Amino acid sequence: MTPDVRAAQAGDADARDRVLRAFWPRAYRLAYAVLGNRAAAEDAAQEALILAAARLNSLREPEAFDVWSARIVVNAARSAARRRRPERPLDGAHAVARFDDDAVVRLDVAQALAALPSWLREPVVLRYVEGFSSAQIGASLGAPAATIRFRLLLARRRLATALADRVRVAEEYAR
């Protein structure tokens, strides 16, 4: 990704297209995980995509593209959340499209995540969906890494309680 980002900043239109097309699914899934609503997630992801395209040349460290772009998505999702009136906390259409065991698990997880306040949900999403470290999450959310570790601690505890049965099953599989 980093070479493409450098090339895009140097004016390579094809590289720019590759960077943005690779960013799109990440942006959508991240926005969806934060917002829990497909339509709102699409709006937020599109807003983030446009901002990333417009500001790509201002990114000083191309290797930081993932963290930089995640921050744009989270900010766009926050703005979208502020604009929206409270609705159902979860649009589980994708999760129940196939009503099998996996779909039920996804729905459970999505509901547990949606029940978290945004200041806990955002670091969890960045940790588990994006695979970021605490420092990278802190850079994305504008908070110290120690604060992120604290938020993850609380979030894990609440999720573990909400998903106690699922966690037990996962642990048995891991053995």
Binding site for another protein (CB under 8 A): 13, 16, 20-21, 24-25, 28-29, 32-33, 42, 46, 49-50, 53-54, 94-95, 102, 105-106, 109-110, 113, 117, 119, 124-125, 128-129, 134, 141-143, 146-147, 149-151, 153-154, 156-157, 159-161, 163, 166-167, 170-171, 174
CA distance linking residue 116 with residue 24, whole number of Å: 25
Q: Which of 70, 35, 25 is nearest to 52 (CA)?
A: 70
Beta carbon of residue 69, minimum distance to another protein (angstroms, whole number): 14
Nearer to another protein, 16 or 71 (CB): 16
Contact between residue 49 and residue 20 where contact means Cβ atoms under 8 Å apart: yes
Beta carbon of residue 143, minimum distance to another protein (angstroms, whole number): 5
Q: Which of 22, 29, 26 is nearest to 5 (CA)?
A: 22
Nearer to another protein, 83 or 135 (CB): 135
**Tokens at 17, concatenated:** 């297209």
Beta carbon of residue 93, minimum distance to another protein (angstroms, whole number): 9
**Tokens at 4, concatenated:** 């493409």
**Tokens at 124, concatenated:** 């969890």
